[in-house]
A and B are shown apart, each in its own frame.
Chain A
Amino acid sequence: MRNGNWSDIYGGLGVAALGLLALWLCLPLPMGTLRNMGAGLFPFLAGGIVAAIGVAIAARGIFRPHAVAETWDVRSFVSVCGAIALFVFGLDRLGLPLTILGMVAVGGLGTGTLSLLEVLIVGGALALICTIGFVVLLGVPMPLMGAWR
């Protein structure tokens, strides 16, 4: 295949899918009249535009000169999501300092950008800074000790 801008094709299809999802979610809502707009009218219009433009981008992408989409750094992305998930599910159980240390370990080692020693130094420093800065000074209600105690 000579033609095809794959960023446009993937992106256009993704956008179109989100638009269609919105249209489907808005179907049960009342459209109302122009004089008295219903809850569904504006989101239905917006969803329709999203879907239509998504299709247009993908269709145009087929005829544009060939270009592959950038590859995803799946390993880094999963590591970063893992670190975020650790924050969500670990905060109450582990407490903030341990959670941060864990996040740095998952993120740093998972992406392969930090060595074990760096994880301990950066994680320890961050745990200290965040505890003092956010919990002590600003009073963000995050537990320092988890439920494991």
Chain B
Amino acid sequence: MGELLSHLQLGLSVAGSPVNLFYCLVGALAGTLIGVLPGLGPVTTVAMLLPITYYLDPTSALIMLAGIYYGAQYGGSTTAILVNMPGENSSVVTAIDGYQMARKGRAGAALAVAALASLFAGCVATFGLAGAAPIMAKLVLVFGAPEYFALMVLGLVASIAMANGDPLKAIAMIALGILLSLVGTDPSSGLLRMTMGIPELVDGVDFVPLAIGLFAVPEILANLRAPQEHGVLQSKLKDLWPNRKEASRAWPAAVRGTIIGSVLGILPGGGATLASFISYTTEKKLSRYPKEFGQGAVEGVAGPEAANNAGAQTSFIPLLTLGIPGNALMALLAGAMTLHGIQPGPLVMTSNPDLFWGLIASMWIGNLMLVVINLPLIGIWVSMLKIPYRLFGPALLVFCCIGAFSVNNSGFDVLMMMAFSLLGYAMMKWKFEAAPLVLAFVLGPMMEDNLRRTLLLAHGDASVLVTRPISAGILLVAVAVLVLLALPAIRRGRKAAFVEET
């Protein structure tokens, strides 16, 4: 415990420095902004800003990028409640009851419940992250190459479950992501693979042009002709506090949501969106007033909002302790760390303690900032919705180009971004998802390396993967997830859960 406190003290001193406070604020503001604006998600934003963080100190860079992620959870709920238009996937369920509360004149209460539940969940989950991460990092020291390989397989299988479309297409995207990650020089033999004689590909496909091309440019194109009219609810926001009855119903839901979100965030493939859905169904089942759900039940706001924020925080655990990103956004943060020469994994804690604990402490500070940013300043964010999206489109495109260019200061990367835009646009039109591809792209080289080492140590006997207990157990879970996905009843259930997202 004393150790934990001294770690947190170190973290607070790093995160509390004026520079890092500034970037924390920038991240929180940017996160809220993109959370409020529909059609611009945290993944896209982080992909665009990733190369720019190269010019920052790595700690500041990660603090800012993390702030964008959890800031988007706050901002997304604002538009979900006021306009019935979730800015983020993770706020989809908040819109159901939050908007109904707003229609009944309880908009202020709904916003306050959402923000306070998020703050509570964020603080608790960050504490969990701080406590769990060192223990996890010690545990994984017994992991060898087979266990790492099995974990990555599980992570990829879980990303199929997370993809809201067709499992078969998600598997295709995973294989394609692995394939793309192998372009370039083979690290063990030095041979060139699939470079087609292009000298710029000797170092492999760069992560930033890939991510921007697949996520950002197709989103810009999709939103060009998106309808611009939002019926902003003109209710007065004078009652910014929940009354006693609302508060007493909201807090147990927030506690349950925090637990659900914290657990689901750690799981591979988990994160904010899944957590909010599960929390909503749980609240509906447990509630003494199930009929009120859909009519403005306060639990339907408190639970999912707590869950999505807790999930956003704890999804950092697999990245920071195992070096294995659990979702596409964590894959981007892994890219940001590698860009700064930091290998994500259990060693970060000992080799860069200031970065590790500074990042964690900044989440508390960021969550506090977000409550201030979101509650008193709510009017500013709502008025942002009145700016037509078509004015943002060109700006985003310019940022994309500068972002792709600035990784290596090379025009070739921008051309790669254009090529991946074509791929991304085709994928969008033919309903393939980019998130599994990006995750697999990050995991691909690590998978090959660990498989190669596994086989080398086992003298070419692949059965070690299933005879070593830990890796066998992990692979068993992966198989179970695949079987569950193939069962028709589960397929229908998933369809229902995702129907509002698509």
Q: Given that A43-B179, A50-B179, A84-B401 are known contacts, is A25 also in contact with B194, CB under 8 Å in the complex?
A: yes
B193 proximity list for chain A (CB < 8 A): 25-26, 29, 39-40, 43
Say yes or no: is B418 at the interface (Cβ < 8 Å to chain A). Answer: yes
Task: Name B221-273 residues within 8 Å CB distance of A.
Answer: 221, 224-225
Taking a contact as CB atoms closer than 8 A, the residue among B176, B221, B417 that contacts A77 in the complex is B221
A108 proximity list for chain B (CB < 8 A): 390, 393-394
Q: Are B429 and A103 in contact (CB under 8 A)?
A: no
Taking a contact as CB atoms closer than 8 A, the residue among B224, B402, B451 that contacts A42 in the complex is B451
Q: Given that A18-B176, A43-B193, A91-B411 are known contacts, is A76 also in contact with B430, CB under 8 Å in the complex?
A: no
Interface centre among A12, A25, A39, A126 (most CB of B within 10 A): A39
Q: A41 → chain B, closest Cβ, in Å? A: 9
Q: A126 → chain B, closest Cβ, in Å? A: 6
Q: Given that A7-B431, A53-B172 are known contacts, is A76 also in contact with B224, CB under 8 Å in the complex?
A: yes
Q: Given that A89-B411, A122-B391, A138-B55 are known contacts, is A53 also in contact with B402, CB under 8 Å in the complex?
A: no
Say yes or no: is A60 at the interface (Cβ < 8 Å to chain B). Answer: yes
Taking a contact as CB atoms closer than 8 A, the residue among A15, A26, A111, A134 that contacts B194 in the complex is A26
Q: Are A39 and B169 in contact (CB under 8 A)?
A: no
Could you tell me the distance between the alpha carbons of A53 and B436 in the complex, rounded to whole angstroms?
A: 15
A25 proximity list for chain B (CB < 8 A): 193-194, 196
Task: Name A85-131 residues within 8 Å CB distance of B.
Answer: 85, 87-89, 91, 100, 103-104, 107-108, 111, 113-114, 118, 122-123, 126, 130
Task: Name A63-88 residues within 8 Å CB distance of B.
Answer: 69-70, 72-73, 76-77, 80-81, 83-85, 87-88
A136 proximity list for chain B (CB < 8 A): none
Q: Are B426 and A14 in contact (CB under 8 A)?
A: yes
Q: Are B460 and A35 in contact (CB under 8 A)?
A: yes
B455 proximity list for chain A (CB < 8 A): 34-37
A12 proximity list for chain B (CB < 8 A): 172
Size band of the interface chain A makes with B: 35 or more
Q: B223 → chain A, closest Cβ, in Å? A: 10
A49 proximity list for chain B (CB < 8 A): 171, 175
Chain B: which residue is nearest A103 at the CB level? B398
Q: Are A134 and B402 in contact (CB under 8 A)?
A: yes
Q: Are A84 and B417 in contact (CB under 8 A)?
A: yes
Say yes or no: is A46 at the interface (Cβ < 8 Å to chain B). Answer: yes
Chain A: which residue is nearest B431 at the CB level? A7
Q: Given that A35-B455, A57-B168, A76-B221 are known contacts, is A107 also in contact with B401, CB under 8 Å in the complex?
A: no
Return the CB mask of B21-65 against A: 1 if under 8 Å, else 0. 000000000000000000000000000000010010000000000
Q: B277 → chain A, closest Cβ, in Å? A: 25
Q: Given that A104-B394, A107-B393, A114-B390 are known contacts, is A84 also in contact with B414, CB under 8 Å in the complex?
A: yes
**Nearest 6 A-B pairs (CB), nearest first?**
A35-B460, A11-B430, A39-B186, A34-B460, A87-B401, A113-B390
Could you list which residues of chain A lie within 8 angstroms of chain B, going by C-beta atoms? 7-8, 10-12, 14-15, 18-19, 22, 25-26, 29-30, 33-40, 42-43, 46-47, 49-50, 53-54, 56-57, 60, 69-70, 72-73, 76-77, 80-81, 83-85, 87-89, 91, 100, 103-104, 107-108, 111, 113-114, 118, 122-123, 126, 130, 134, 138-142
Beyond A34-B455, A87-B414, A140-B52, 5 additional pairs, beta carbon < 8 A: A11-B426, A39-B186, A39-B191, A46-B178, A76-B224
24 contacts between A and B (CB under 8 A): A7-B429, A11-B169, A29-B193, A34-B462, A35-B459, A37-B188, A37-B456, A39-B188, A50-B179, A54-B172, A70-B429, A76-B221, A77-B422, A77-B425, A83-B401, A88-B415, A108-B394, A114-B391, A130-B398, A134-B402, A140-B52, A140-B55, A140-B406, A142-B405
